[in-house]
Amino acid sequence: MAKVMIVYASMTGNTEEIADILGEELEKYDIEVEIEECISVEPEALLEYDGALIGGYTYDDGQLPDEFVDFYEDMADVDFSGKICASFGSGDTFYDEFCLTVDLVEKRLKEQGATVPVEGLKVDLDPDEDDVVRAEAYAKTFADALLG
């Protein structure tokens, strides 16, 4: 059975909700899922899994969440070659840099050798019904890449 770690940072609960939606959807494909907040796991721990989804919200006008900075910076020291990974997160379209954290994480994953089979999932504030449908499709694409 394939194993996936979902790591997230969430202040208002929006990104956590997305993580839960993704986790539930991946489990439908017989994938074992573990969900953790970024402050309770190190990036190296992701190497114990077949794949990883990393999510964070974008704070204010394009800033990484304070509690996510260390995790993000430490990702630069991990070789993700052979791992299927992707990014997701929430933001607010009010700001010019909508969901910049998603883009930064995706770029870092690629720099560190991860296979990123699906473009980052970006959600405006809390997920609505359309976002849930998009998240389910995102999870399916990820699962298909993971399971080959």
pLDDT in tens, 12-59: 999 999 999 999 999 999 999 999 999 999 999 999 999 999 999 998
Look at the block and give the residue holding tokens 């402050």. 39
Total domain count for the chain? 1
The per-residue pLDDT for 62 is 87
List the beta bridge partners of residue 123: 90
Nearest CA among 24, 57, 54 for reference residue 36:
54
Tell me how long the chain is: 148
The per-residue pLDDT for 60 is 85
Q: Can you tell me the mean pLDDT for 58-79?
A: 94
* Average pLDDT of the chain, as a whole number: 97
The per-residue pLDDT for 21 is 98
Residue 76 banded pLDDT, cuts 50, 70, 90: very high
List the beta bridge partners of residue 63: 59
Residue 86 banded pLDDT, cuts 50, 70, 90: very high
Identify the three-state secondary structure at position 115: strand
The per-residue pLDDT for 59 is 87
Q: Can you tell me the mean pLDDT for 91-116?
A: 96
The per-residue pLDDT for 61 is 81
Helices (H), 28-128: 69-75, 100-111
Q: Could you tell me which residue, 62 or 55, shows the higher pLDDT?
A: 55
Q: Extract the tokens encoding 49.
A: 């899994």
Host domain of residue 48: 1-145
Q: Could you tell me which residue, 131 or 96, shows the higher pLDDT?
A: 131
CATH number of the domain enclosing 64: 3.40.50.360
